[in-house]
Amino acid sequence: MTNASCAVRLRRAFAILAFAVSLPALADAGKAAAFYEDGLSRFEKGDMAGAVIQLKNALQQNPKMLSAHLLLGRALLEQTELPAAEAAFNEALKLGVSPTEVAVPRGQLLMALGRTKDLLRDIQPDGLSGAARIEVLTLRASALADEGDGKAASRAFEAAIAADPSALRPYLSWVPFLLQRGEMTAARDAVARAVALAPKDARAWNLSASLRHVQGDLDGALADYSRALQLEPAHIDARVGRASLLVDVKRDAEAAKDLDYLAEHARSEPRSAYLRAVLAGRRGDADTVQKSLSEVARIVDTLPPEYVNAREQLLMLGALSHHGLGAREKAKGLLDGLISRYPRNLGARKLLASIYIDEGDSARTLTTVEPVLRVRPDDPQALLLMGRAHLVSKRYSRATHYLERAAEAMQGDAQVQAALGYSLLGGGQADAGIASLEKAFATNPRDGAVGMVLTSLYMRRGEADKAMAVAEALVKQRPDDLSALNLLGAIRAANGDVAGARAAYEQVLQRDPAFVPASLNLARVDAEEGKPDMARRRLMAVVDIRKDDERVMYELGLLARRQGDLASAIDWLRKAAAKQPDDPRAALALVELLSATRQPAVALTAAKEVGLRHPGNLRVQAVLGQAYLAAGDATAARQTFRDMTRLAEFDPDAQIRIGQLQLEAGYPDDAAYNIQKALTAVKDYPPALSLAVDVALARADLAAARAALSDLRKVEPEGSAVATHEAAIALASGDVTRAVEASRRVYQRWPGSQSALALARAQFVGKDPGGAIEVLQNELKRAPSGDVRRALAELLMQRGSWREARRHYEVLLAGNGANIDLLNNYALVLLALKDPAAITQAEKARALAPQDPLVTDTLGWIKLQTGDTEGALGLLRDARLRAPQNPEIRYHLAEALHRSGRTAEAKQELDAALDGNVAFAGADAARQLRGKIGR
């Protein structure tokens, strides 16, 4: 291995985090490979059921086989086994497969499940090309359409078409979108282009037929459906369309022929079964009607609910069939879902309007109330219902609009005032919201919910006296309400009156020993008073009575962490989060603890779960974004941070924190927007001005960086940030001498690990690695620092000073023997020294981070260099699946394939590695191998 190769493969501590798990032994790698190859063959022949069986067999032998998880997901997707397919894709992602490898099938899955928000967040075209890129662009456009963002969907469809003007795929979704919006002129133009692109493709003629059908050109539609079926007799949509048209024009005998074909060749097609029921009804054949409707209901019911919910026709067919069969509740459920997803379906709306009001379903009240308000726009009850519906959906501005009108019409109504208060608070109007809640509480001082919210708000604002007054009023008005007494104890504790709090809690428990909140609060008091054992005994006593109470689990988790028992803390917090997914506290505590114990992949999974449940919670989204960064998914982090930017409004501290995360993720333009929001809130805010310099440097805009530095100097002329930025600007401008001098001045005035590292970095860029090493060595003598020692070890590796690098890595590992990056680099150093212990260290690193592609690649490469070609091949395949964009990994795999006699596969990997002439450490060796293999 060359020095340059090692230099490129250095692992910095802040680059990748990983978590420690045990690497399970493979039952039989040979059997797993054989089952996989047979499954692949069956998949390619269209035998999805057989493929699923063999792929599951492969995974029984090797549960970590990425290629099997991925192919299993695709096969299950083809069989419409959507939850199982999602589980397979999620397992592949959890094990580390690159999102680009699974983007298309996972995008199709999410679309089939109707999870358009997930699709838009997780499925990106970045890194894709050809048909895969077009498919993802089209899926994203369709998702935007389903989200109701017609303008964005139109732009997205046009972008998909522009990406490859010769592709038919975008038109297959674009034309239905245009028809749904009533844009007939655009639809006609799109159909003409589609037919011109693919005159021999049945899908294009089916589009044309659909357009003509909608326009009422039945003869033209019939001709186009027939032309599509001439090109492809098995085109189900075209045959159903033609049968439906023939039924509409009462050409029943001709329709029956198409329906007979569908009954034989598409037995799971509910539309044809429903059309058969229509024809039977015309004949007066009640038995066939019932039989056909039962068939429709059976087909719809056996499909995954998520799949049905994403398809308007299936929902309507299922609802109609169940209604016709007298299954009212089932029909209502399907119609409920249909109205939620397709609010323009007037038939379903008419049927459900009154039902939702009777059931008090606030999530769907809007569909019922809107028609009322169109007739009676000032109806106070309708206004209140509309406002509450918007409030539940967190559309605070609209909720406030309706609730203010309701409050005007219903003077003195505490319910309206309370709802208005919650809406104002949600919309960021804290003072007005509190004032409205105060009116509500004054009108009804027995309202415990309003009283609790008010006390919480008062405590946040530091108005302890007001909080105490509300709590005491609640206890007076509700003397038998233990929740009010418990609240009084919490307010006392928050005000530092621990004895008074304990007295209140004990009074609650004297009246009801099973009142859990008081027990939890007493346990907190115990812990605060330095009595953790007493707190644990108290909590475990509650567990004995209420084994599944998530509140107790949460408190036990916090207590265990406080005592340093991290394994127990994780266990308790995980249980608490699972029991109460709607409360983010336990989940956030779990994510934080998993991250602290170096388990970023597991932490990310936990963060995603809580993030999906709390999309409007800034704290939750911050944790999610940080988890994405820790797991290396900067694109997902970017979208999360953008959402946070909107949620943070004009909080300058929050905006700067988000901006720093965005800059770290590689998105300076996003960070610049946060800076502007922070400066709008606080003029000349120093952290914002400092971040502006970093953003300008990230953009390589030196003029802007100097201007931002000038602004910062006016505010903080003597701060270390100014001097540090001066050095950074000099380095970016190519004035290395000045950068080194400025960095040296910073280090001399503010000595420390960070200023030493900055000086060493400037010297290294100035091609003075010896000087950089000397600075770091001197800093280590001044003050021990793991960061400095690590940087020094890396520099020594780059210079080929393997023995000295080894010494520093051994020191580092003595204090942190489970650090994956240190172990990985140490293994490379030992390999360069031809020390057989290299493989042992690489195996230790992989045992801690089996999902890390670079760690896996290191072990595979070392095995290959030491003659274990078979062992290397499996590892390098695994690494390649996890990081297909890494050319060096693909070269290493090609080398292993070549040595294994798999020349064709080796050629493919080399071609991918060398595509675009991307520079990497093994590029020359890869070219030599490609030339050796030949064409």
Q: What's the pLDDT tens digit per position in 147-156?
A: 888 899 999 9
Is residue 159 over pLDDT 80?
A: yes
Task: Tell me the CATH number at 902.
Answer: 1.25.40.10
Mean pLDDT, range 510-529, rounded to an integer: 85
Q: Over the chain, what is the mean pLDDT?
A: 84
The residue type of 558 is L
Angstrom distance (rounded) from CA 842 to CA 850: 11
Mean pLDDT, range 619-634, rounded to an integer: 84
pLDDT score, position 344: 55
Examine residue 800 and state whether it is found in any structural domain, yes or no. Answer: no
Is residue 107 over pLDDT 60?
A: yes
> Confidence class of residue 20 from pLDDT cuts 50, 70 and 90?
very low
Is residue 935 over pLDDT 80?
A: no
Is residue 16 over pLDDT 50?
A: no
Examine residue 104 and state whether it is found in any structural domain, yes or no. Answer: no
Angstrom distance (rounded) from CA 764 to CA 699: 22
End-to-end CA separation in angstroms for the chain? 27
> Confidence class of residue 597 from pLDDT cuts 50, 70 and 90?
low
* Angular region, 428: left φ>0, alpha ψ -120 to 50, beta rest: left
What single-letter DSSP state applies at residue 791?
H
Examine residue 914 and state whether it is found in any structural domain, yes or no. Answer: yes
Angstrom distance (rounded) from CA 860 to CA 897: 12
> Confidence class of residue 27 from pLDDT cuts 50, 70 and 90?
very low
Examine residue 436 and state whether it is found in any structural domain, yes or no. Answer: no
> Confidence class of residue 218 from pLDDT cuts 50, 70 and 90?
very high
Mean pLDDT, range 122-137, rounded to an integer: 92
Core vs surface per residue 308-345: b (16+ CB within 10 A) or e = bbbbeebbbbbbbbbbbbebeebbbbbbbbbbbbbeeb
Q: Which domain holds residue 923?
A: 1-20+817-935
pLDDT score, position 339: 65
- Neighbour tally for 843: CB within 10 Å: 17
Sign of CA dihedral 613, 616, 617, 621: positive
Is residue 157 over pLDDT 80?
A: yes
Residue closest to 154 by CA, chosen among 183, 174, 126, 132: 174
Examine residue 916 and state whether it is found in any structural domain, yes or no. Answer: yes
This model's pTM is above 0.95: no
User: DSSP readout, 738-760?
Assistant: HHHHHHHHHHHHS-SHHHHHHHH
pLDDT score, position 836: 93
Q: How far is CA 303 from CA 77, 237, 274, 328, in A?
A: 12, 18, 16, 20
pLDDT score, position 132: 92
Examine residue 834 and state whether it is found in any structural domain, yes or no. Answer: yes
Q: Which two tokens stand for residue 26?
A: 């493979």
Examine residue 917 and state whether it is found in any structural domain, yes or no. Answer: yes
Mean pLDDT, range 588-593, rounded to an integer: 84
What single-letter DSSP state applies at residue 649?
T
Contact 750, 734 (CB under 8 A): no
Is residue 791 over pLDDT 50?
A: yes
Q: What is the pLDDT of residues 332-349, one digit of tens each?
A: 788 777 767 765 554 454
Which of 193-197, 262-266, 401-405, 744-748 is modeled with the greatest confidence? 193-197
* Angular region, 598: left φ>0, alpha ψ -120 to 50, beta rest: left
Q: Mutual orientation of helices 414-426 and 396-409 as an angle, nearest 10°?
A: 160
pLDDT score, position 541: 86
Examine residue 830 and state whether it is found in any structural domain, yes or no. Answer: yes
* Higher-scoring residue by pLDDT: 816, 556: 556
Torsion of CA 77, 80, 83, 86, to 10 degrees: 10
- Where are the alpha helices (H) located in 198-327, listed in sequence order? 202-215, 218-231, 236-248, 252-265, 270-283, 286-302, 305-309, 312-324
> Confidence class of residue 317 from pLDDT cuts 50, 70 and 90?
confident
* Higher-scoring residue by pLDDT: 655, 652: 655
Q: Which two tokens stand for residue 811?
A: 């020191």
> Confidence class of residue 407 from pLDDT cuts 50, 70 and 90?
confident
- Neighbour tally for 916: CB within 10 Å: 7
Residues 6+ apart with CB under 8 A from 760: 772, 773, 775, 776, 791, 795
pLDDT score, position 816: 58
Is residue 11 over pLDDT 70?
A: no
- Neighbour tally for 669: CB within 10 Å: 11
Question: Considering the chain, what percentage of its residues have pLDDT values greater than 70?
Answer: 90
Contact 416, 439 (CB under 8 A): no
Torsion of CA 698, 702, 706, 711, to 10 degrees: -50
Angstrom distance (rounded) from CA 507 to CA 665: 52
pLDDT score, position 349: 47
pLDDT score, position 362: 54
* Higher-scoring residue by pLDDT: 461, 517: 517
pLDDT score, position 842: 92
Number of domains the chain contains:
1
pLDDT score, position 817: 62
Residue pointed to by tokens 């599944």: 548
- 3-state SS class at 1: coil
> Confidence class of residue 29 from pLDDT cuts 50, 70 and 90?
low
- 3-state SS class at 333: helix
